[in-house]
Amino acid sequence: MEIEDRILASPDLEMTIDSKPLKIAPDTSLQDAIALMSQARGKNCSYDSSENEFGLSLPDERSPSSYALIMEQDKLLGILTERDIVRLTASEAVFSELKVSQVMTHPVITLSKDNFPDIFAALFLFRRYKIRHLPLVDSNNNLIGVISPGTIRRAMHPANLLKLRRVGDVMSKNVVYEDSNISVLNIARLMAKQKVSCVVITQEDKQENILLPVGIITERDIMQFQSLELNLNNVTAQEVMSTPLFLLSPEDSLLKANQEMQLRRVRRLVVSWNWGQGLGIITQTSMLRIFDPMEMYTVINTLQRTVEDLQSENRRLSYMVRELKG
């Protein structure tokens, strides 16, 4: 059916691949790697060659990189992600004394392009290995690019399932929150312990006896604080949290959530309902649940029933019109 095909159209596979990922050498210091991840994509500048003063290749995009590939002579050795940086921050590692080869995640889970007929192969590996960055390689194991929830989300079109589903369908209610007076170091420890990508900062409304979400600190924030070499034990959440928050409702469409993420250049949004009594988080990763085959099967059945109901109503109205004319 044409309507279903248009709504369920899968993202263009080429658009889901970051073909110019950040690559760094294994002997790069951890501090330099963080500087590149947090600043190289964010500065409004251009690079005339594929290498900079560190001898590293830089991507063209204008936003921070959530990961770096550790490579040597075109061989993929490992990966460094924001999650790794949070974990190292929580353990109070001395970043200036470490090389990326000492802390990178390896071996790296990869996907062969021959096994990439659609996005379901990537989604399966994301879920199975609990990862968010998937290098794509050719038949000779040469790197083609990287697939992530972010690249898939950017490839989504309004004609996809987004407009049919609600934020409440995929949001997580397992929200980790803390008071604004907590130190950023303890925020990092909480992220590492709870294995979450953000902590919502709340403020108590004593009159209503509820906790109001007033800010958020994310993995990317921790990385940027490290690049500034802040003493995270002496910095409170209130001083550095992102505020004010843009809040979604569980009844908002995923299309709205996707548009707001793109507009605000963020990867997660806080969901609030019942005047702050309910809290949730929606991330670009959780949005990909709509591409679960069983979820899509359910939507197709719902669409089919809707079309059948409309056709039945149309036949009934046509019969009534004929009766009136007769």
The model's pLDDT over 278-290, given as tens digits with 9 standing for 90+, comes to 899 999 888 887 7
Last residue of a domain, one of 104, 132, 155: 155
Give the chain's domain count.
2
pTM of the model as a whole? 0.78
Q: What is the CATH number for 75?
A: 3.10.580.10
Asked if the structure places residue 294 within a domain, the reply is no
Asked if the structure places residue 307 within a domain, the reply is no
- Indicate whether 7 and 151 sit together in one domain: yes
Residues spanned by the domain of 53: 2-155
- Indicate whether 13 and 122 sit together in one domain: yes
Last residue of a domain, one of 114, 131, 155: 155
pLDDT for the residue 35: 93
Q: What is the pLDDT of residues 113-147, one digit of tens each?
A: 999 888 888 888 998 999 999 999 999 999 999 99
- pLDDT of residue 62 exceeding 60, the answer is no
pLDDT for the residue 161: 64
Asked if the structure places residue 160 within a domain, the reply is no
Burial class (CB in 10 A: 0-12, 13-18, 19+), 305: exposed
Asked if the structure places residue 127 within a domain, the reply is yes
Computed over every residue of the chain, the mean pLDDT equals 83
pLDDT for the residue 10: 54
- Indicate whether 8 and 111 sit together in one domain: yes
- Indicate whether 129 and 173 sit together in one domain: no
Provide CB contacts within 8 A for 37, sequence distance 6+.
22, 64, 65, 66, 67, 68, 80, 82, 223, 227
Asked if the structure places residue 308 within a domain, the reply is no
Question: Which residue type does 304 have?
Answer: Q
More confident residue, 296 or 7: 296
- Indicate whether 147 and 252 sit together in one domain: no
As a whole number of angstroms, the distance between CA 280 and CA 278 comes to 7
C-alpha of 222 from chain center: 16
- Indicate whether 115 and 8 sit together in one domain: yes
pLDDT for the residue 54: 36
Name the CA dihedral angle for 50, 53, 58, 64, rounded to a multiple of 10 degrees: -160
Rounded to the nearest 10 degrees, the angle between the axes of helix 219-227 and helix 82-90 is 70
- pLDDT of residue 173 exceeding 70, the answer is yes
pLDDT for the residue 244: 92
